Structure 1
Amino acid sequence: MEGGISLKIIISNAKGDPIYEQIYKQMKDMIIAGKLKEGDMLPSIRGLAKDLRISVITTKRAYDELEKDGFINSVAGKGSFVAEKNLELIREENLKKMESYMEKIWELAKVCGMSADEVMEMFQIMGKDVEG
């Protein structure tokens, strides 16, 4: 049983990330962004491995990680599907992204010689622009 939607996953040998992590991250990002919707059937592990010209074991590992983290559900004999959106999980992912961006901001602030007060003032000014 093939089935499932077509995924545009790009595997890069230039990246240092393992292939299963690249698949995991791209699929997770598609789910969080709503490009993959709740209940969508994913390609079979074998089908995706064939499309990407990689090992079935590598694809299975990515699917296992997605399931472990609550992004997909696998049903024996039927396939893998996008799990119901867990808003708390999505919020947590977005908080992690924000923290990563904030770390970069603090690194740049140090390079620019900015104080914490100056950075906070910049955030406040930008926040007013965003709020309208």
Structure 2
Amino acid sequence: MYQQIMEQIKQRIAVGDWPPKTPLPSVRELATETKVSIITVKRAYLELGREGVIVTQQGKGSWVNDTLDLTILQKEELIQHLEQAGKLAKSLAIPENKILQMIKQFME
């Protein structure tokens, strides 16, 4: 569950919802909001801190790291979307060349 919280936070950062220096909800607030235990949220914040995605200071809270390289998170986000699109295209029996054509169209 903590990994899902981590992915959701990374996604919000990658798409620009939470730019650098944005304060994150407190552990208690996020636990209440997501209906998970405080321990689960603490673990997610700890792991995000280890990865350098967020900064946490005792008594001051957590916020998006302002030295974070957003391109890494954005590439991870893109890969996840492409993976989902690929699986969906396969289930719909859409040929590879058609998918590539669609991607090219969206890049123009």
Question: Is the shorter-chain TM-score for this pair beyond 0.5, marking a shared fold?
Answer: yes
What is aligned with 1:57?
39
Superposition RMSD on alpha carbons, in Å? 2.9
| Consecutive unaligned residues in structure 1, runs of 5 or more | 1-17
| Consecutive unaligned residues in structure 2, runs of 5 or more | none
Paired residues in the alignment total 107
What is aligned with 1:107?
90
| Larger RCO, structures 1/2 (Cα 8 Å, 6+ apart) | 2
Change (3 A) 1:127 1:31: closer
What is aligned with 1:8?
none
* Matched residue type, 1:101: Q
Asked if 1 retains the 8 angstrom alpha-carbon contact of 2:15 and 2:74, the reply is: no
Q: Which has the larger radius of gyration?
A: 1
Higher helix share: 2
Aligned-residue offset at 1:60: 0.2
Aligned-residue offset at 1:130: 3.0
Aligned-residue offset at 1:100: 1.6
What is aligned with 1:93?
76
* Matched residue type, 1:29: Q
What is the SS of the residue equivalent to 2:62? strand
